[in-house]
Structure 1
Amino acid sequence: MSARPKFRYYTASTLDGYLADLDDSLDWLLTQPIDENGPMNYTEFIADIGAMVMGWTTYRWLLDNEVSDGKPWPYDMPCFVFTHRDVVPVAESISVVAGSPADHRDLLIAAAGDKDVWIVGGGDLAAQFAEAGMLDEIVVSFAPVTVGAGRPLFPRRFDLELIDTARNRAFVCARYAVVGPRSRISS
């Protein structure tokens, strides 16, 4: 049996564990220096991706910030937006789905082909994939900034295994294997 596809959550976070601030702003991320060819870079990551998934907030952010002023959708691979909202896709490569990740496992695996599935965000969707046993690894680039509150990186109790670390200019990058849910120890 092939190890492919892997379900991978590749993201950036503030040092205090947020993907975005309370206004869904990523200005903290976009102002940090990064080596586009450095360790754990996006170009090498995306080369192994065959399909992507995201939640409504991430999709909306992309529409507001990347697909504005007539710019086209930035991805040519199959993209699945998990939401219960009535959403009109802005590109033929986008499918809107509802339900749990497990409901769409076969569809996502088929869409990825012999490559991996990228859980783009947000953190709650990545956690839903983990709860369904469909998250193999988390790759996070931590920025040297705090925002105090916002969208959490991963809002569930899970054990992870550190696989690799690196520094990419301002970012501390870490790759983790998802071990499983963390049980509560009663006292």
Structure 2
Amino acid sequence: MKNQESGEVPHKNKECYVFSRSSQEDTDHVTFVNGDIRDFVDKEKSKGGKNIWIVGGGELLDAFIQEDLIDEFIITVAPVILGNGIPLFREGDRSLNLTLKGTQQFNQFVELHYEVKR
């Protein structure tokens, strides 16, 4: 969880949760979660905070999509083409309609910001 170069914890001013299938002991900077996603989100919303930012792969994202818990996508495209890899979106019989909110360029990376149409 630490930045390899500076030794600092990223986003140290934010609460950090890591979803895991196995039970893990919490650290000073990370709380591990292996329970129901909807229960977790409901609990976080009840705290009166603003946004819940999810960083993860296709399996975690799919669980949030299945529960209709995604309002926005911020996807960063890197200048690398992988022949084989883990897909960001899993196969399924659902679809989401999105509205483009904006784009940003960071050197060779492009960030796409979409809002889920409700």
Residue 89 of structure 1, aligned match among 4, 20, 26: 26
1:104 corresponds to? 40
1:141 corresponds to? 76
Deviation track 1:16-57 (CA, whole Å, cap 9, x = no partner) reads: xxxxxxxxxxxxxxxxxxxxxxxxxxxxxxxxxxxxxxxxxx
With structure 2 as the length reference, what TM-score do the two structures score? 0.74
CA–CA distance in 1 between the matches of 2:102 and 2:3? 33
CA–CA distance in 2 between the matches of 1:179 and 1:83? 30
CA–CA distance in 1 between the matches of 2:49 and 2:39? 20
Amino acid at match of 2:32: V
Residue 151 of structure 1 aligns to a residue in which SS? Answer: coil
Amino acid at match of 2:72: E
State the identity as a percent: 31
Residue 170 of structure 1, aligned match among 83, 108, 113: 108
Residue 118 of structure 1 aligns to a residue in which SS? Answer: coil
Higher relative contact order (CA 8 A, sep 6+): 1
Assess if the C-alpha contact under 8 Å between 2:58 and 2:88 holds in 1.
yes
Query: Aligned pair in 2 of structure 1 residues 172, 77: CA closer, same or farther (>3 Å)?
Result: closer
Matched, 1:153 2:91: no
Aligned residue pairs total 113
With structure 1 as the length reference, what TM-score do the two structures score? 0.51
Residue 80 of structure 1, aligned match among 17, 27, 48: 17
Displacement of 1:73 in angstroms is 3.5
Assess if the C-alpha contact under 8 Å between 1:158 and 1:178 holds in 2.
no
Amino acid at match of 1:177: E
Query: Aligned pair in 2 of structure 1 residues 109, 150: CA closer, same or farther (>3 Å)?
Result: same
Residue 70 of structure 2 aligns to a residue in which SS? Answer: coil
Displacement of 1:117 in angstroms is 0.5
Any stretches of 5+ residues in structure 1 without a counterpart? 1-61, 181-187
Assess if the C-alpha contact under 8 Å between 1:140 and 1:174 holds in 2.
yes
Compute the RMSD of aligned alpha carbons: 2.6
User: After the TM superposition, which residues 3-152 of structure 1 pair with which residues of structure 2 at under 5 Å, given as runs?
Assistant: 62=1, 66=2, 71=7, 73-74=9-10, 75-91=12-28, 93-111=29-47, 113-152=48-87
Query: Aligned pair in 2 of structure 1 residues 122, 68: CA closer, same or farther (>3 Å)?
Result: same
